[in-house]
Amino acid sequence: MDRRLPLTALRIFEVAARTGSYAEAGAELGLTHGAVSRQIATLESWLGQRLFVRTGRRMTATPAARAFAAEVSLSFDRIAAAAEACGRPAARQILRVSAPTTFALRWLIPRLEKFHAAHPQVEAAVTTTTTLHEELRGGFDVAIRRRAVGSNFWPQHHATFFLRETDTLMVSPALLARAPLSRPSDIADHVLLASETRPGDWSNWMERAGVPHRSEQRRRVFDHFFVTLQAVVDGLGLAIGPVPVLEIDLAAGRLVAPFPEIQVPRPGYVALVPFDASKTPALTHFVDWLVQEGGLCRQE
């Protein structure tokens, strides 16, 4: 019997245990669900015990498998570090970053050139998600999400808070010129634009501004905030928008905040790194850069 450790199966097992899903492991590794299942079965046969059990429609790692996966992950990290030290030091590193769409377009991507200038051997590849609290899945090195209430919201990830956020009223310069806003109550003459992904924005701002709710107020609701934001830029109405995420639009004159003193505090943003992720220098540099750009002292 061949007792050589099946390294391919071991790598696939590590990804499956980390992502918690055969399908997600397959997506990350470019394999079919069946191929992942067969490799896991090979490793189980070699070890002589089950690593995953079926829970509903998913295959869940056993407690022993989770402990084994943590050790395997550390071993792969050490191998990667040794290979990097022994290999091509100038090789370009790809850092996979997952971020909400509006945040990526309005805050992160416009600043990325500064990160690349400081770290030319690192390429931050950004993928977007349309909801702030979408389930975290495999396929990224660091995920940016809005900070949640409760320390156990992301139990498998280390969270670093890096950006405070407040909401305030936003309007296009053209609309403001046609229908000025002298006082908060003047919003009664405008269409209020809202997003399904940001419920409560208007009610919270009205409460802070001391403006009563009016059932007859004209409103339009869009599915995502980046759609609402475009409607504001096009002059279709007013919206509540986040600062500093939209500070570039404000500085460029695409948007105006007519009442900047009326602000509603929001949770802000965190950088999430899986506990078992490979803590490469590129990853550490990126998280530190986020903290620096956000103007905060790093909080571990």
Instruction: List pLDDT tens digits, range 121-170.
Output: 899 999 888 754 455 555 788 999 987 655 567 778 888 999 999 999 99
In the chain, % of residues over pLDDT 90: 56
**pLDDT of 26 over the 50 cut:** yes
Q: Which residues touch 251 (CB under 8 Å, ≥6 apart)?
A: none
Least confident of 26-30, 78-82, 122-126, 252-256: 78-82
For the domain made up of 166-266, give the CATH fold: D-Maltodextrin-Binding Protein; domain 2 (3.40.190)
Token code pair at residue 195: 């997003």
Q: Which residues touch 240 (CB under 8 Å, ≥6 apart)?
A: 167, 168, 169, 170, 194, 198, 201, 202, 204, 205, 264
**pLDDT of 245 over the 60 cut:** yes
Cα distance between residue 115 and residue 72, in whole Å: 31
The CATH homologous superfamily of the domain defined by 93-164+267-294: Periplasmic binding protein-like II (3.40.190.10)
Q: What is the pLDDT of residue 1?
A: 47
H or E element in which residue 127 lies: strand 122-129
Cα distance between residue 197 and residue 228, in whole Å: 10
Average pLDDT estimate for 221-243: 94
Q: Tell me, yes or no, if the two domains 93-164+267-294 and 166-266 fold the same way.
A: yes
Q: Return the domain boundaries, the chain.
A: 7-86, 93-164+267-294, 166-266
What is the tens place of the pLDDT at every residue in 191-203?
Answer: 999 999 888 999 9
Task: Give the pLDDT band of residue 210 (cuts 50, 70, 90).
Answer: very high
For the domain made up of 7-86, give the CATH fold: Arc Repressor Mutant, subunit A (1.10.10)
Cα distance between residue 269 and residue 236, in whole Å: 29
What is the tens place of the pLDDT at every residue in 252-298?
Answer: 999 999 999 999 999 899 999 887 777 788 899 999 999 999 986 54
In the chain, % of residues over pLDDT 70: 90
**pLDDT of 299 over the 90 cut:** no
Alpha carbon distance, N-terminus to C-terminus of the chain: 48
**pLDDT of 80 over the 80 cut:** no
Cα distance between residue 55 and residue 53, in whole Å: 6
